[in-house]
A and B are shown apart, each in its own frame.
Chain A
Amino acid sequence: MTESTALYDIPGPHARQRHLLYGLASTAVLLALAGWVLYLLFDTEQFTSAKWTPFAYEGIQELLLRGLGNTLKAFACASVLSLALGAVLATGRLSEHRVPRWISTLLVEFFRAMPVLVMIFFIFVALKVQPLPALVAGLALYNGSVLAEVFRTGVHAVARGQGEAAYALGMRKAQVMTYVLVPQAVRAMLPAIISQLVVALKDTSLGFLITYEEFLHAGKLIASNLDYDLPFIPVVLVVSPVYIGMCMLLSWFATWVARRERHSPKTKAVDVAPAEPRTLLPGQQ
């Protein structure tokens, strides 16, 4: 870890001793902080049995599981649709014809600049759509246009000789794309694509705001129940590890794919993207 930084030399024995001291002191401070939070939790009576018994009821468990199922359903629909939309928009942006290029550029730039929540609310309130389709449509529009940019960058990232060689062999543009450029681009961009799906998974929780009965909504229902002594903190302690765990699993998968693709002989002619959502200013490139 210290190998690749310009900030300091590899520490010697004295410095290492000092660092150990700092390390111990800061660990003590952090532990004290954690202890304080724990004390606060106990002090405000968050661990009473009244607040935790509801989780032992089958009905509550079913409610939570149904919520989780709805979250995953929205995620599945949104990711499939956004991948499809991304492919269509990327095709448009890479087109040689002016009109489809302009239209898809306009769409991509607009949907990327708009908050997802505004789109979801617009579809939900103005078009009077059911919560699930509204959520899925909003997520698909936003993530689809981001994915379109990812696909496009991927195609541009393939070494120029690849396309030129394919044209020299007499392939047509569609053939060059489908046989040569797109397969390599998708491989290279797979980590970025999966990371964008993590964003979609996180944003399914926006469904909570339009009363879609997803995981957080189920949590809210339990938390606002007076019979169980308003178990708000217990609900957060149950819901957030599940959400964070799901997203982390997907993020780790993206990192794993990135490492795998980087060593794959099939990505020799293209740089594999890091496992992060793309951060590109609107109107750039």
Chain B
Amino acid sequence: MDVLTDNFSLYGKGFLGTVELTVYSSALALVLGFVMASFRVAPVGSFRVFGTVWVTVLRNTPLTLLFFAVMLGLPRFGLVLPFELFAVLALGCYTSAFICEVLRSGINTVPRGQGEAARSLGMTFSQTLSTVVLPQAFRTVIPPVGSTLIALAKNSAIAGAFSVTELLGTYKPLSELGYDIVWTFVWIAVGYLIITLTISALFHLMEKRWGVAR
């Protein structure tokens, strides 16, 4: 128990690091995922190909390999950024592929008749998109986006092994200080549970508020 009380600031720093990493990477993943999803449903062939390649490659890349390539590879091109930024970049790009697929399947669940009806009422493309298609797609993608972001929060643990301050990395200084290793991990586990369960609760709430009644 005193592992936590003695090292509250260390744990707090790690916890905040994980939260920060999760929030920034989620933002990047959602934006990039949205862009890629719009590429994948675009009528222009080369956009579709680019989106498909992006998704196929990133979904089949081990995240450790991506971290390895981004963290240690990009500096070779003279691009030197703080480790946190590299981690956000790797996590965000990796997760964007999953978000893209979720959004795309969400858009594809909107029946074709909806768009046709909107267009026959004289709505423009942006009107169709913003008032008919996206609101309906949004309702169906809430749960899968939630679980993708939970996966992102869990994946952020890998960043700790690449010298980014986050929750899992706190075990190292603590074990050097001679604290009981099992209890150290118990509190790390509790930290991750807090984060994942918070995201889960958030998305359950959104699902209840906006989700499709089934």
A positions within 8 Å CB-CB of B: 1-2, 4-9, 11, 15, 19, 22-24, 26-27, 30, 40, 44, 46, 113-118, 121-122, 125-126, 198, 201-206, 208-209, 216, 219-220, 223, 232-233, 236, 239-240, 243-244, 247-248, 251, 276, 279-284
Question: How far apart sit A247 and B59, CA to CA, in the bound complex (Å)?
Answer: 9
Classify chain B: how many residues form its interface, as a range. 35 or more
A216 in contact with B64 (CB, 8 Å):
yes
Q: Which residues 88-125 in B have Cβ within 8 Å of A in the complex?
A: 101-102, 107-108, 110-116, 119, 125
A6 in contact with B146 (CB, 8 Å):
no
Given contacts A44-B76, A44-B77, A113-B193, 7 further A-B contacts (CB under 8 A): A115-B153, A115-B168, A116-B154, A118-B157, A125-B185, A244-B57, A248-B60
CB-based nearest B residue for A116: B154
Q: Which residues 180-214 in B have Cβ within 8 Å of A in the complex?
A: 181-182, 184-185, 188-189, 192-193, 196-197, 200, 203-204
Nearest 5 Cβ contacts at the A-B interface: A6-B115, A247-B60, A205-B62, A115-B154, A205-B64
Interface residue stretch chosen among B3-11, B23-31, B46-54: B46-54
For chains A and B in complex, what number of residue pairs have CB atoms within 8 angstroms? 175
B46 in contact with A23 (CB, 8 Å):
yes
B46 in contact with A27 (CB, 8 Å):
yes
Q: A121-B171, A279-B102, A281-B146 are in contact. Are A7 and B107 (CB under 8 A)?
A: yes
What chain A residues lie within 8 Å of B108 (beta carbons)? 4-5
Question: How far apart sit A26 and B43, CA to CA, in the bound complex (Å)?
Answer: 13
Nearest Cβ on chain A to B127's Cβ, whole angstroms = 12
A113 in contact with B192 (CB, 8 Å):
yes
Q: A209-B64, A243-B62, A247-B62 are in contact. Are A1 and B48 (CB under 8 A)?
A: yes
Nearest Cβ on chain A to B128's Cβ, whole angstroms = 7
What chain A residues lie within 8 Å of B185 (beta carbons)? 118, 121-122, 125-126
B203 in contact with A281 (CB, 8 Å):
yes
